[in-house]
Chains A and B, each alone.
Chain A
Amino acid sequence: MTCEELRPEYGAWALGIAEEPERSEIAQHLERDCPNCVPGVRSAIATVSAMASAIKPVDPPARLRKRVVSMVAPEPERSRASIFFPWAVAGAFAIALLAVVIPGRLARTPAPPVASNTGQAKFEEVLSILNDPVTKDVAFGDPSARGRFFVSPTKGVVFIAAHLPTLSPGRTFQMWVIPNGGNPISAGTFQALSDSTAVHYRPGPVENAAAMAISVEPSGGSPQPTTTPIIVTKL
């Protein structure tokens, strides 16, 4: 469809109510940075965004601030209950992954039962990494652990593993992206489940990555690895 044909639908698209084929067509135009559609959609999104200001403010409970802030606070301050990806969901997800992913790339796998929509959304985010056609799927296995990294240059990294070592109190696993000719870049910290398995992912672009690594760091993580990584996998 032409930009002119799509123009009347910018607003509906910004509201999330556009119908097919306009919905997909606008997305395609945006994806190729269409000089006509991008400004039009931006304007429509601005209008929709402004509508939020017409909503009567409702005070959130005071605890919500703590929940939000604790998600990114250093480890000792982090409330286990507030972690966005519940370990129960992670466990179910790990089982599903180990069952269906390792034999090959997912086409589209039915979601395992999840505890909440929040978990569902994260699950879909992980699936989008696994389903990316350019995702690299690299296995590793050594005496201490075995598993896989799934690395999408544009969407992020998923790490699954079994037989991870038991950590001392005050220690955490930390994932690293090692770029070509650069210093490791932290890709977040995580803990293993009680059965020594773990699922960890970090959304966002992974540019110029030459290898992935896992190290054991003090709780809260480190700006750079402070111990010899227990897993290093070339991509």
Chain B
Amino acid sequence: MSTAPGPNHLLPAFRARNIFTLPRLQRYPHESANRMILPGLILALELSGEHDEELARRLQRKDPQAMADLYDRFGRLAYSVIVSVVRDSSLAEDLVQETFLRVWNRAHAFEAGRGALGPWLLTIARNRAIDHIRSVGSRMQRSSQEFDAREHPSLFVDMERDILNTDHARVIRKALAKLNENQQKVIELAYYEGLSQTEMADRMGQPLGTIKTWVRSALRVLREELGQEVAA
């Protein structure tokens, strides 16, 4: 098994003091105000072109070229999400493969006209990665039904399709930078390590109620920054 470069290379964000909080120019020193070589821009380029709807319909027709197009649009992002969790490039390849196959096999249940393909695929990708690290750590064994529920295509209906675009990427980074240290920590532990709130409480030596409060408040900040309407 080959191993990805160390976490500080792979995740400038996460181990030292994560991507969410580092100043942008520190993360991307080649950037300048006039030269917008940002991850968000790259994302936008990857996500441009064919709309979700037509691609989803071709996946439903089992058009093999649709799989290639799906990979061209979301492969890099899916790999980035997975490798940020598992931190092993070889394993990440397996999990990306599994992610795309799952989308291919379940595309029939996706509402092509109303569903958000990218968020659905990335949810599946992260689930595969979290499932792996939990199974390796023999902790929080969850049933496949639970993952099925969280990645059910019906939950991605009427979701803003360009939630992964440049503007949102910038907004979410700005929002993450607004979180206080504790809020950032619980989001990192949840997103990248899949720790339960009880596990976070043990790790951080804090009462469960405090952890829940930090998680809720962090997500509330992110949601508000993204301008979503449903309050939690």
Contacts and interface: CB of A to CB of B under 8 A. Distances in A.
Chain A interface size, as a band, is 35 or more
Contacts of A41: 155
Interface string B92-117: 11111110110011101100000010
Contact of B230 (A39, A54, A60, A203): A39
A64 B97 contact: yes
Interface string B67-87: 110011001110111011000
B26 interface: no
Interface in A192-217: 202-205
A99 interface: no
B149 A27 contact: yes
B191 A58 contact: no
Contacts of A203: 105-106
A204 B101 CA distance: 12
Interface residues of B, number: 102
Interface in B194-232: 194-198, 200, 208, 212, 215-216, 219-220, 222-223, 226, 228-232
B98 A121 contact: yes
A117 interface: yes
Given A17-B197, A73-B64, A50 B155 contact: no
A128 B168 contact: no
Contact of B76 (A27, A31, A60): A60
Interface of A: 7-19, 23, 27, 30-31, 38-61, 63-65, 67-69, 71-74, 82, 84, 116-118, 120-121, 124-125, 127-128, 202-205
Given A43-B228, A53-B173, 16 more contacts: A11-B216, A17-B195, A19-B196, A27-B149, A44-B219, A50-B163, A52-B77, A53-B163, A58-B10, A65-B75, A69-B64, A73-B64, A117-B132, A117-B136, A120-B135, A121-B98
